[in-house]
Chain A
Amino acid sequence: MATKSKTPKHPVDIEGLTGDAAIAVALRQCDVDVVSAYPITPQTIIVEDFQKFAANGETHTKVIPVESEHSALSACIGASAVGARVATTTASAGFALMWEVLYCAASMRMPIVLAVANRALSAPINIHNDWSDSYGGRDSGFIQVYCQSCQEAYDTTIMAFRVAEDRQVLLPIMVCIDGFILSHNVERVEMLPDETVKKFVGVREPFQNLDPDNPITLGPLCLTDYYFEFKEQEDRAIRAVPEVYKRVEAEYEKLTGRSYGLLEKYKTDDAEIIIFTHSSPAGTAKAVTDVLREKGEKVGVLRLKMFRPFPTDAVREAVKNAKAVVVFEKCMSFGAPCNPLALELRTALYEAERRPLVADFVIGLGGRDVPPETIVQGIEKTKDYLKKGKAPMYETLGVRK
């Protein structure tokens, strides 16, 4: 989990909180100016809890109860353009509805925090967890981070504002948690005092905002002679994120003793088989790893936290000595050579001197349970592929076929 370096300095509050509740608390503490959000299962509790805080004056925030997710993110852009600190949250179909606006938010360099309670996309309509919603926004220019625990969700939401609003970055950020599995399950969360968080996030310093004393034009028409240059700028901005994130997290670690990095290495140093995944399957994979290690098997888990920008070098480095990397991912990219997470990994490894065998397992679509047996099954199959020297591009596990 989080690397514990030392005991935190400040008094903390410890409560059992669901992922949704933890994010709502973090938002409350971050002095958000405007929240405009539309409820959708399983993110509804974030919106409800936050609105309750606002109604009781526990946060000085204008809450805009918009009539759709497309409007939710649009209102965030308007508010962010004035210089306000803004946040919103969504999932699944709501995320899909705001897809157009994701690109606008990123290209207009609006530091909006978007919490996503990962849920499957229709059709058929399904309210349970998989990653097809946020993976669908992976090209949008948003920073994307995935959390395994409610504690991490709380910590990451707070850090998100600092990363997004950093002058080197100025990009919106998606903080993702598994719908229901994390959003609705109670875990132990250590919270910082309000004053500490407020001081940590500070006040947002607007940059090129809508200001009657300095009238500028935001969002003009850009034709073939300029559009590309703005995309170049965006590319440079997202590449600046890892350094900024590390800096912000180092500061946060001083307050809490916790840090996560861009990815987490769990018993990977001498691992022959490394599991590559994120969010809740990472937790299951760690439990499986512990059992297998007792049996003498050299297994480990590489838990990805930052998906965008993808930490190519760090991933390459972490798996270089493994014989095989087993990808478990909750998303299918229909018609692709393999699925999104494995695609990223294989591309990252293409230039590596030594390339471990990569096996891609699609699991848990539509909230299909991922018990330890599924992880074990994937590992067993991978051992088989190692013997054969070849793995299929991808396969599905846990489906009746």
Chain B
Amino acid sequence: MSEPAAVTIKDMLKKKQILSSGHRMCAGCGAPPTIKLMGMALRGPTIVCNATGCLEVATTIYPFTAWKIPWIHVAFENVSAVASGVAEAYKVMTEKGRTKHEHVDVIAIGGDGATFDIGLGSLSGALERGHDMVYMVYDNGAYQNTGIQRSGATLPGQETTTSWAGRLEPGKRQRKKPIAEIVAAHKIPYVATVTPYHHRDFITKFRKALEVEGPAFIHALSPCPRGWRSESGKTMELAKLAVETGIHPLYEIINGEQYIMSAPSKNLKELTPLDEFFKLQGQFKHLYKPEWEDFRKQVQANVIADWELLKKKCGV
């Protein structure tokens, strides 16, 4: 089975890429680097199941596909179910002597829409059944593919086309679903949060996810220049800031109980103010109007409170 994960630049250059150039993701999109890093962690034959969304649509516009490994898309809310079927089928066909490989790694990928919202039921079912698969969500904070509509992953204060900022509203009011903890509550072996900026951390964690027996979950933040109204060149900088401001802390949860904070978060002496993160994005611009000052301060206070609670859980 095991090809080693490629973590150093020299190793990464040698490892076979799973996504080719020529895909039509936006310039500066955080998702393709996420897939590239996932590819660096692979250990052998792999099948990818993809939910409807930006990644699926822009990498497979008929007659072109950017995928160099087996890949299937069926619908929006069912990628976990499709992956369950793939995993069990390969297993039983191997038992019956009808496959060429002893094992295949099955990866399900969905955006925040497919994962936090419409596909949450299907995800929960797959987690409860305990299939040996990795689920990765590339979280760009809204239903970006259909034109920037709010999702359960949209942050409070974030403006989208279904959570406008206006006279009465400061963008979305509700908090973001704590998806990593929701998933971890199923007591699956491994859950981790990652960003494409922290590439070593990403590859190491993804490899761990592949290696555990049973379901594993990777929550990847994927900045979106179009939806976030940020400069396309700032994508990685935004991913870094998301960690530094406590918006997307990096940690692992083992067996749903043991919390381990990762170095980039652990080493923070204190959180960078959210303003540093917000000011690079047009979608938070309205929060700097006087009428939303209290709201913005509350959002900042909540991020700090969540961070303190997380530190406690991690024993930091």
Contacts and interface: CB of A to CB of B under 8 A. Distances in A.
Nearest to A214: B70
Nearest to B101: A212
Which of B49, B78, B95, B96 has most A Cβ within 10 Å?
Answer: B78
Interface residues of B, number: 47
B253 to A, nearest CB: 22
Nearest to B108: A78
Contact of B125 (A68, A203, A226): A68
Interface in A74-110: 74-84, 86, 100-101, 104, 108
A230 B129 CA distance: 35
B78 A211 contact: no
Contact of B74 (A66, A77, A212): A77
B75 A62 contact: no
A76 B72 CA distance: 13
Contact of B122 (A33, A67, A213, A214): A67
Contacts of A60: 92, 95-96
Interface size bracket, A side: 35 or more
A215 B67 contact: yes
B98 interface: yes
Contacts of B83: 78
Decide if the interface of chain A is mainly helix, strand, loop or mixed: mixed
A211 B100 CA distance: 9
Interface string B49-71: 10000001100111101011111
Which of A214, A218, A222 has most B Cβ within 10 Å?
Answer: A218
B70 A216 contact: yes
Given A68-B122, A78-B83, A78-B86, A219 B46 contact: no
B305 interface: no
A34 interface: yes
A210 B70 contact: yes
Which of B80, B101, B124 has most A Cβ within 10 Å?
Answer: B80
Contacts of B61: 220-221, 223
Contact of A104 (B45, B60, B75, B89): B75
B200 interface: no
Interface of A: 33-34, 36, 60-62, 64-68, 70-72, 74-84, 86, 100-101, 104, 108, 203, 210-223, 226
Interface of B: 45-47, 49, 56-57, 60-63, 65, 67-75, 77-78, 80-86, 88-93, 95-96, 98, 100-101, 104, 121-122, 124-125, 128-129
16 contacts: A33-B93, A36-B84, A65-B129, A66-B129, A74-B122, A79-B88, A80-B85, A86-B85, A210-B47, A212-B69, A213-B100, A218-B72, A219-B72, A219-B74, A220-B60, A220-B65
